[in-house]
Amino acid sequence: MKLRLEENKGIPAHLLWMLAVISGLSVANLYYNQPLLNRISEDLGVSEFTANLIPMTTQIGYALGLLFIIPLGDLYKRKHIIVVNFMLLVVATCSIASSRSIPYILVASLVTGICSVMPQIFIPIAAQFSLPENKARNVGMMVSGLLTGILGSRVVSGFVGEYWGWRTMYYIAALLMLLCIFLVLRVLPDMPSNFKGTYGGLMKSLFTLYRDHPTIRMVSARAGCCFGSFLALWACLAFKLSGEPFHAGNNVIGMLGLCGIAGALTASFVGSLVHKLGVRFFTYLGCALMILAWVVMYVFQNFYLGFIVGIVVIDIGMQCIQISNQTCALSLAPKATNRVNTIFMTTYFVGGSLGTFLAGTCWHAFGWAGVTGAGIGLAAVSLLITLFARN
């Protein structure tokens, strides 16, 4: 007899762990390119600005996937959606690995971004089928899995890129997606759908939710601005560290991703305190920490210690923002968790794409000072939204 999840019954711990692991493996596809941008730029003979279009295109794809694919989790069987997307990821990552020109890589990166959204189906599963007292904690656990995947992707891709070439990393990614297909087919149980109707009706209801819930719009916007600030760092870190005075290799750049383990460890802790200290408190704290991190990385930009401290602090700040605001959004419409998460995460990654684009543009024009200005500016916008909001 197949296991079937039901609301108010709780979600088994082993299933939570599996979803967290698969979330980490799938979201990693978005971030493999970050430590490798300098190597990709050299191999393809393109400028740093052109190479920076790869992560931007991937993030735009992720936003499109969030908008058009994640709502399907309320309409169709989530297992089928997940398997199809992972199959497309196998094709897309193999295409990146074998491409010899930047236009093909950009197209494959767009598909990779679109199909890497599956963790945003897992997070609503954790929220919908958790007992009320465990909801924030379980969402935090999913986000911890995401962060671990992000951290691991940067470290692994840095080492693989340094010793075996950047293309090898994408062949490995394809194999990992095949593994995820096997795990999903083997372990993921059946779940009841949340919406009866057509895809058109589903998308109409998405925009109705956006119109009728100003709090969802507000928490999504301020989290998106902070994510843009966060990705501004990783969009240009490889360029900064590969030049004076560091001349760092991809392995060293990837290793700095381990500094973000503080953020991964913080996620579950923040989730357990959101209901006690409030969303507003964690938003103020997160914005302040992110601005502080940028100041540290500018003042001590010629020292590894400055970047180590900055990455730790900015990761902790980002998790204060995301966990608190995402938990708030998901609690506003319990019967439409996939659609609410679509609104939140689409806005989140639009902000990320904006931060990546601004960082690349400012790096090209003003160097590290410009990147720092973009990062602080985006975090400051989020802070202003909070100052003038009620929640």
Q: What is the pLDDT of residue 308?
A: 93
136, 166, 180, 284, 382 from 390: Cα distances, Å: 21, 47, 41, 13, 14
Alpha carbons 279 and 108: distance in angstroms, whole number: 37
- pLDDT > 70 fraction of the chain, expressed in percent and rounded: 93
pLDDT at position 328 over 50: yes
Q: What is the pLDDT of residue 288?
A: 96
Q: What is the pLDDT of residue 292?
A: 98
- pLDDT > 90 fraction of the chain, expressed in percent and rounded: 40
Q: What is the pLDDT of residue 297?
A: 97
Q: What is the pLDDT of residue 306?
A: 95
Among 37-51, 290-304, 339-353, the range with the most confident prediction by mean pLDDT is: 290-304
175, 215, 248, 327 from 287: Cα distances, Å: 38, 18, 29, 17
Q: What is the pLDDT of residue 1?
A: 36
* pLDDT tens digit sequence for 265-298: 776 677 677 777 888 999 999 999 999 999 999 9
CATH architecture designation of domain 13-387: Up-down Bundle (1.20)
What mean pLDDT is reported for the chain? 86
SS3 190: strand
* pLDDT tens digit sequence for 44-87: 888 888 888 898 899 889 889 988 888 887 777 888 889 999 99
* pLDDT tens digit sequence for 19-29: 889 999 999 99
282, 224 Cβ separation under 8 angstroms: no
Longest dimension (CA), the chain: 62
* pLDDT tens digit sequence for 151-178: 788 888 988 988 899 999 999 999 999 9
pLDDT at position 9 over 70: no
pLDDT at position 34 over 80: yes
Q: What is the pLDDT of residue 177?
A: 96
